[in-house]
Amino acid sequence: MNPNYVDTITIWNCLKGADNPAGTGDVWYKRVLTGCFFKVVTSQVNSGLNSNMAGAYVCRIPSSLLYVPYVQWVAKAANVRANFFTARNDDIVVLGSSADTITNVSPNTSAQILAKNKPTAFKVTVVSDNAGIDPHYRLGG
C-alpha cells in the first residue's frame, strides 16, 4: 500500500433523481473510507482590488471491492447499494469522518454541508479509475 495513503475521507454519492428507480428525487449515500490520500492546494488569486483563495483538490482512494461504477451502482437495490460506493461528478468529499447527513432539506443540503466543511471539502469535478502498479480512483475538484 502507498505510504501516502493515511487519510480518512467521507464521500457522499448522489443517486440522481432521474436515475432513481424509486422515483423519489436525489438520494445521498454516505461512506467513510480510510487509507486514502487527500490534498488541497490553495493559492491566492488577485484581480484588481479583490483577493480570493482558490483551491485545487485531489483525493486518491485505493482500489476496493466495494467500489462499483455508477451505472452498476444505480442498478442495485437500495438496501444493497448502501453497502457499496461509487464516484462521479457532483459527489461531495470531506477530509475526515463526518457525522453529517445530506437530506436535501436545510440545513443539510449538499451545498450547506460543502460550505460547512470548507476548506477541506470539495465537489467532485473529475473522476478517473487508475489501474496499474498502484491501482486507485482519483477524484479532483
pLDDT 10s digits, 34-74: 999 999 987 666 655 555 556 799 999 999 999 999 999 99
pLDDT 10s digits, 77-99: 999 999 999 999 999 999 999 99
What is d(CA 114, CA 102) in angstroms, rounded to the nearest whole number? 10
Can you tell me which residue has the cell 477530509? 95
For the chain, domain boundaries: 7-140
pLDDT 10s digits, 131-141: 888 899 999 99
Closest C-alpha among 122, 117, 115 to residue 38: 122
SS (H, E, C) 36-49: EEEEEEEEEEEECC
The residue type of 19 is D
Closest C-alpha among 101, 102, 118 to residue 110: 102
What ranges in 7-126 are assigned the alpha helix state H? 70-75, 78-81, 110-117
